[in-house]
Amino acid sequence: MLALRIENLRKSYGALTVLKGIDLTVANGDVVAVIGRSGSGKSTMLRCINGLEQFQEGAIEVAGHKVDRSGANLRALRREVGMVFQSYNLFPHLNVAENITLAPRVVKGLPREQCAALVHEVLARVGLADKAGAYPDQLSGGQQQRVAIARSLAMKPKVMLFDEVTSALDPELTGEVLKTISELARAGMTMLLVTHEMGFARRVANRTVFMHQGTVWEEGRSEDIFANPRTPELRCFIAPDLK
């Protein structure tokens, strides 16, 4: 079954067309890396999937929800589609446990007595079981990003979207976050990851999508994409990783 279906997605900002007819499908359990140069439309596509950007043409269905161009049904959509951003977006005045349980309590009506078990469960999955009482400014960047992942996991999503989640981190902290995402992949989480980490995409994603000039330029099994790029644009883009 499909977790995500995009048909002829077009998105413009005034006279600037950013997405020029995207077609893409993601099956349940797939881990799909989205790569490409800055400005190729990767992050815009993710934001359209999660309803953060309205689009002018096309159709999106994710986790069984149709993304209406009017922005309707977003509450139901975001119950089942998690998104983690480059910036952690944690509330600084709330501790880790409070950051994690805010949405489950408000959106899903989770009773307070169930919150402690949920916090323990999701923090254990990201390797931060001892940080429930810490505040964001007491954590490293890598730890904050892992808390952001835990916060999304607390909603029990069917699909996770990651938008360049390591681009603001140094190499050591990047490794922490990528390890967490790798473990989610092994557990069968359906994920779409915009990333500049080519080695990670090659190892962890079973499929890779190369975006260029607002289109899906190439896509396929990750091992094929990196071993045998079909177009000069992709060959040039991944050339440093092949050396």
Q: Which CATH number covers residue 176?
A: 3.40.50.300
Q: Which domain holds residue 193?
A: 2-242
Predicted pLDDT of residue 173: 84
Structural domain count, the chain: 1
* Per-residue tokens: 65: 């929800």
Integer Cα distance of 72 and 231 in angstroms: 39
Question: What's the pTM?
Answer: 0.91
What would the mean pLDDT of 58-63 be, rounded to a whole number? 94
Give Dmax over CA atoms of the chain in angstroms.
57
pLDDT tens-place string over residues 160-202? 999 998 887 888 888 888 999 999 999 999 999 999 999 999 9
Q: Quickly state the pLDDT bin for 243 (edges 50, 70, 90).
A: very low
Q: What is the DSSP letter of 217?
A: E
- pLDDT of residue 1 exceeding 60: yes
Q: Quickly state the pLDDT bin for 77 (edges 50, 70, 90).
A: confident
**C-beta of residue 26 within 8 angstroms of C-beta of residue 192:** yes
- pLDDT of residue 239 exceeding 50: yes
Q: Where are the alpha helices (DSSP H) in the chain?
A: 42-49, 74-80, 96-108, 112-125, 141-153, 171-186, 198-204, 222-227, 232-242
Does residue 14 sit in helix, strand or coil?
coil
Q: Quickly state the pLDDT bin for 241 (edges 50, 70, 90).
A: low
